[in-house]
Chains A and B, each alone.
Chain A
Amino acid sequence: MRNVWIICRKELRSYFVSPVAYLLLAMFAVIFGFFFWNILGFFIREGTEAMMSGQMFPMNLNERVIRPLLSNISVVGLFLIPMITMRLFAEEKRTGTIELLATSPVSDVQVILGKWSAAVVLYGGMLLLSAVNFVFLFKYGRPDWKPLAIGYLGLLLQAGALLAIGTFISTLTKNQIIAGAVTFAVCLLLWILEWVTGFDTAAWARVMAYMSVITHFESFSKGLLDSKDAIFYVTLIFLGLFLTARSMESLRWRS
């Protein structure tokens, strides 16, 4: 556990001494802010129109603002995750520092967990910063906080899964750009897999759609904690980290 923390701390440090972390935090904050403003603006116009026409249907903040916002943000995450994971192992392989880690009394699993958890913490930081927006929502409205919390949990789980896959891809190359590009392609693919149900509902299409990370975010964005979806993400996390461990091992046998 101590070793995991040592590695994690080192990774976080290198995120924050380079502009990477600040860039990601800033980009995420701006994009999140834009979506928030956009969706809220739409919500307010709708509300005004409804009032003017004398309709008094219930305007639910959770349903009309938080849910679409979190759905959009879950997609934004796909684009930023490659930037978080691409250097994790590729950089160590390029500069040769991987030899230091591999000849120190720490296990591969500790190294992997340390690096992955640093990535998760950074993403968690981005989410935390975005939560500022909701202060306004709670000040002027009365949304339910529980679905929001579950939505955030979903975002974190989804990111955890994609970060694990990104970590794995980073072990495959010395080149950060390649690691980033491949991770981006895989993330994108895991998103658009969902679209096949648009033209076909056969069994294979449903299986493919089921593998999409977005499909499983649906329930989280509604504020429902569906164990099936949570388990999907956790499984994906384990799969990604397991592949990373195998890849690190094969690195030794091949190189």
Chain B
Amino acid sequence: MITVTDLTKRYARHTAVDHISFEVHKGQIVGFLGPNGAGKTTTMRMLTCFLPPTSGTATVAGFDVLEQSFEVKKRIGYLPELPPLYPEMRTVEYLQFVGSLKGLSKADLAKRVEYVCERCAIADVKDKLLGKLSRGYRQRVGLAQAIIHNPDVLILDEPTSGLDPKQINETRELIKSLAGDHTIILSTHILPEVEQTCEQVIIINKGKLVATDSVSNLQNRARGAESLLVEVGARNGLIDPAKVQSRIELVSGVTRVVLKNKRDSRSVFEVESRKGLVRGDLARAVVEAGWDLNELRPAAVSLEEVFLQLTGDVAAAPAEEAVPAGAK
């Protein structure tokens, strides 16, 4: 449905998107993952014909974004990061305007407006001014706007940013329910979001493609090892971190122990282990050795760590840069 080949966007000073290639098949939900400023929005803008690429090609439903942009525009629905709403319009008026702009006939228009209001649960704000809607409703009207002409491809730029947890869940469910009829690309910098909604994931960083993979593969890579934070204290007097460390390393299943933080009477370790029931053994080992177990909790797997795991070279890059700075 979408084919991207060596897509590049260069600005005067920097390259926002650097030779990205990927493919999205019909009916898939694809997560576009990367930290802020990775080039997600720029890529999406090129796919929606808002920005022309510097080099490389992208085709949507078989049409080139540069050469046949009119055909592409007819087939995509786009929700930018900020829903493009006119504050002085009422919801229904706005949807009618967008619908007619996308080329719907008068007869279809009424039906589609009715349908998207139902689908996106915005029927109760039909006659409200868009400027007066809450963030969650604005986002849903934005989604309604994107699907009004029943496009083949939906491109959603951070559809859940700025929403409260309940709204985030509702929006994710809504997006998932749309997947059958549309091919969806959604961008996010939140890992769990990809896990919950997407089948396929495209990871980019600093404009470069880092990995394209299925979500389950990504999860395996990220969660193959479990990471725990352990804080150990001593009731009286000082604690010898080296001693504690060697004790913890003896616990079966533990693969790596790193001392993170040390104070007089307590120290914090990050413990990596194979998946399994390590926590019980770990706690027992600490307590039986006469120390206090102050804290034992899973270390959050951040997106950054996934990046580091996925790409050795990307992780190494900042370190290399740091060397000349230190040498001066």
Q: Do A and B bind each other?
A: yes
Taking CB atoms and an 8 Å cut-off, the chain A residues in 7-35 that contact chain B are 7, 10, 13-14, 17-18
A interface secondary structure, majority: helix
* A residues 65-116 in Cβ contact with B at 8 Å: 95-107
- Among A14, A95, A107, A253, the one with the most B-chain Cβ atoms within 10 Å of its Cβ is A95
Known: A17-B88, A95-B84. A6 touches B100 (CB 8 A): yes
A139 interface contact, C-beta 8 A: no
Q: Which of B76, B97, B100 contacts A103 (CB 8 A)?
A: B76
State the Cβ distance, A248 to closest chain B Cβ, in Å.
12
Compute how far the CA of A98 lies from the CA of B48 in the bound complex, rounded to whole angstroms: 13
Inter-chain contact B52/A252, CB cutoff 8 Å: yes
Query: Is B80's beta carbon under 8 Å from chain A?
Result: yes
Chain B interface size range: 20 to 34
Taking a contact as CB atoms under 8 Å apart, the answer to whether A3 and B49 are in contact is no
| Closest Cβ neighbor of A101 among chain B residues | B101
CB of B48 within 8 A of CB of A103, answer: yes
Question: Does A255 lie at the interface of the complex (its beta carbon under 8 Å from any beta carbon of B)?
Answer: yes
B101 touching A6 by the CB < 8 A rule? yes
Chain A interface residue number, banded: 20 to 34
- The listed residue (B48, B49, B50, B86) touching A97 by CB distance below 8 A is B86
Task: Please indicate the chain B residues that have their CB under 8 angstroms from the CB of A253 in the complex.
Answer: 52
Binary interface encoding of chain A residues 234-255 relative to chain B, with 1 for a CB under 8 A from any of its CBs, else 0 = 0000000000000000001101
Interface residue ranges of B281-309 to A (CB < 8 Å): none
Q: Does B82 contact A (CB under 8 A)?
A: yes
With contacts A105-B70, A105-B74, A252-B50 taken as known, whether A99 is within 8 angstroms of B100 at the C-beta atoms is no
Report B134-164 residues with CB < 8 Å from chain A CB. Answer: 145
Greatest chain B CB density within 10 A among A3, A7, A10, A100 is at A100
A142 to chain B, nearest CB (A): 46
Interface residues of B in 50-82 (CB under 8 A from A): 50-52, 70, 73-74, 76, 78, 80, 82
Tell me the bound Cα distance from A103 to B78 in angstroms. 8
Among A97, A98, A103, which residue has its beta carbon within 8 angstroms of that of B85?
A97
B88 / chain A contacts, CB cutoff of 8 Å: 14, 17-18
In the complex, the answer to whether B73 meets A103 with C-beta atoms within 8 Å is: yes
A100 contact from B51, B87, B93, B98, Cβ within 8 A: B98
**Does A10 contact B97, Cβ atoms closer than 8 Å?**
yes
- Cβ of B101 and Cβ of A252 under 8 Å apart? no
Which residues of chain B from 224 to 238 have a CB within 8 Å of any chain A CB? none
- Please state if A104 and B101 are interface contacts (CB–CB under 8 Å): yes
B192 within 8 A of A: no
| Closest B residue, CB atoms, query A16 | B88
Asked whether A103 lies within 8 Å of B52 as measured between CB atoms, the reply is: no
* B50→A99 contact, CB < 8 A: yes
Binding site for B on A (CB under 8 A): 2-3, 6-7, 10, 13-14, 17-18, 95-107, 252-253, 255
Known: A2-B100, A7-B101, A255-B51. 8 other contacts (CB 8 A): A6-B97, A10-B86, A18-B88, A97-B86, A101-B101, A103-B48, A103-B50, A104-B102
Question: Could you write out 9 A-B pairs with CB less than 8 Å apart?
Answer: A95-B82, A95-B85, A98-B84, A99-B50, A103-B49, A103-B76, A105-B70, A105-B73, A105-B74
